[in-house]
Structure formats: structure tokens, C-alpha cells
Structure 1
Amino acid sequence: MTSAERDWPGVNKLRKLELKDLDAAMLAALKQTNDFVLSQGKPLDPVSKAAYDDIKARVDARG
């Protein structure tokens, strides 16, 4: 999602976040992807939801 050949609005923000907090960056990336899928009227893959929930719990636990 943030490789050098990728260019989309917000990619630089996500790249900077990766360098500071990989869990927070992964959470943001999963949220963006999940929101996009849902906005297309498609069902969210259960594994994607589980990954988001797991990382969110980890980030939330840190405070």
C-alpha cells in the first residue's frame, strides 16, 4: 500500500506513520481498505475485520 510506485491521496502520511508506529500505520491501512470495500457495497472479509479488531485492541491497550 505504501511501496514507492504507489501514489494516492494520503500515501505520504501513511509512510510517515509507518516510521513512527507500525501498528498505528497498519490500523490506518486496514481501516482505509475496509471502508473502501464497504463503500462499494461489498461484504467485508471476516479475516480483514479480525485483523483490524486485533490491531485496534493492541493500539487501544497502549493508550
Structure 2
Amino acid sequence: MNVTVHERDNQHLSREARAMGIVVWDVIQNGELVGIFPSRDAADAYRKELETSKQQG
């Protein structure tokens, strides 16, 4: 399973979000978006959750 976390680029943010300086983090699993988070820590926690559940299952 391939799970990655990366910052959403400005092309995928609304004009309002860009104006406010909002940063959004995406979690991608096997090429599909599975989560959107307001902080890197929250996105990393979800990534770890996915990896742990896969190992147990």
C-alpha cells in the first residue's frame, strides 16, 4: 500500500482560501485522495492510521 501526504497546491484551492493563506494537506492512498486535513500533523496521523490498519488486516 502506498500512502503519501502532501500540501495541496494553489491550483486546487479556492480563491478565498488562497487569499487567507490557508494550507491544506492531502492524504493519497494508491493514487486516490482519501483525506483532506488542515495540518500536517493531522494528515500524518491519518496516514499512520491507514498503514497500521493495513498491517493488522
Q: What TM-score range do you get, normalising by the shorter chain?
A: 0.3 to 0.5
Report the structure, 1 or 2, having the larger helix content: 1
The structure with higher relative contact order (CA 8 Å, sep 6+) is: 2
